[in-house]
Amino acid sequence: MKAYLFTAAGVIFLSVIVSLLIPDGKLNKSITFVMRMACILVLLQPVTGIFKIGETTSKEPMYDYVYICKVYSDNQSEQLEKVLKEKFGEECDCTVEIIHDDGNFKVNSVNVEVNTQKNQTITEIYAYLEQSGYINITVYAKSY
């Protein structure tokens, strides 16, 4: 916006200076007309941007990767809770963190809060997650 205002002010200033310096005659009318058209075009530039046809200014897709990662993380967390309940018979609160990196969605970390104090179950869940390919795994007993 700042650049547009400087451009508009510059063109108008140049138009005024040129109209003062040009002597009267046939050439004066032509130059005055051209300078007025330049001023009008510069002032209409923001309006023409609304109707721009063709290529967009940004080559990047307009996706909200933070939102997509959150939805994907919530879904993965919910599904992991169901799988662990079915496989180990324990209620768990899972948090799977998904990130977008180099065009791919990746699991960044997994936190599992188990509703048991049995170390054997915690170790089995950890081994299961590790075998499933998860990284940055944290499995701990829920504190009461």
Residues in Cβ contact with 69 at an 8 Å cutoff, skipping those fewer than 6 apart: 98, 99, 100, 105
Summarised one tens digit per residue, pLDDT across range 123-142 is 888 899 988 888 888 888 88
Structure letter (DSSP) for residue 25: S
Give pLDDT tens digits for 49-71.
666 655 555 666 677 888 888 99
Pair of tokens at residue 9: 């002010």
According to the model, what pLDDT value does residue 57 have? 58
Residues 72/98, Cβ–Cβ less than 8 Å: yes
What's the burial of 98, exposed, middle or buried (CB within 10 Å: 0-12/13-18/19+)?
Answer: buried
The amino acid sitting at 80 is L
Q: pTM of the predicted model, to two decimals?
A: 0.55
For 139, the 3-state DSSP assignment is strand
Helices marked H in the chain — which ranges? 2-21, 26-50, 65-88, 119-131
